[in-house]
Amino acid sequence: MEPVGAWVEVEELPTQVLAARPRPRVPLAGAIAVMALVVLLAGGFGVLGGRQGGTPASPGLSSPVANGPTAAPSPTETPPDPRVTPWSACSGPVDEPPEPVLEIDGRPYYGQVELLDFDLGTTFEGIPPVIGQDNLDHAVEVPMDAIAEIWIGGASCAVSWNIALVDSGLPETRILETVSNEERDPAIAAQNRFQVFVAPYKGDHQLRAILVLENVAVRATWSIHVPVLEPPAVTLTAGDREIPTTIGCDVRQRLVNNWEEALSPCNRDVPRELDRSAAITPGEQLDFQLEGWAATDTIVFCGELTERRFTPRTDPSCLIPRDPLSAGLRFRAPEEPGTWTLAIYECATRISVVGRGFEELCGTWYASVRVRE
pLDDT tens, N- to C-terminus, the chain (373 residues): 434 333 334 344 344 333 333 333 444 333 434 344 334 334 433 333 333 333 333 333 333 323 333 344 444 555 566 677 788 888 877 777 788 999 998 899 998 888 876 556 555 665 665 654 555 568 899 999 888 999 998 888 999 999 999 875 566 788 899 888 877 888 888 999 999 999 888 888 899 999 988 888 889 999 999 999 889 999 999 999 999 999 999 999 999 888 999 999 999 999 998 988 999 999 999 999 999 999 998 999 999 999 999 999 887 788 888 777 777 788 999 988 999 999 999 999 998 766 578 899 999 999 999 998 7
The domain locations on the chain are 32-52+229-371, 81-226
* Opening angle at CA 202, ends 201 and 203, nearest 5: 120
Per-residue model confidence (pLDDT) at position 288: 95
d(CA 47, CA 91): 51
Q: How far apart are CA 335 and CA 372, in angstroms?
A: 9
So what's the pLDDT on residue 54?
36
pTM for this entry: 0.69
DSSP of 213-278: -SS-EEEEEEEEEEPPPPPPPEEEEETTEEEP-EE-TT-EEE-TTS-EEESS--SSS-SSPPPPPE
The half-sphere exposure of 292 on its side-chain side, counting CA atoms within 13 A, is 11
- For residue 316, whether the previous peptide bond is cis, meaning omega lies within 30 degrees of 0, is yes
Separation between Cα atoms, residue 172 and residue 5, nearest integer Å: 27
pLDDT at 126: 59
**Chain-centre distance for alpha carbon 48:** 18
d(CA 302, CA 368) in angstroms, rounded, equals 9
pLDDT, residue 326, reads 72
pLDDT at 79: 53
Fold of 81-226: Immunoglobulin-like (2.60.40)
Q: Supply the pLDDT for residue 304.
A: 93
Give residues with Cβ within 8 angstroms of 211, minimum separation 6.
Answer: 98, 100, 152, 158, 161, 217, 218, 219, 220
How far apart are the C-alpha atoms of 127 and 300, rounded to whole Å?
A: 56
User: Are residues 339 and 346 in contact, defined by beta-carbon separation less than 8 angstroms?
Assistant: no
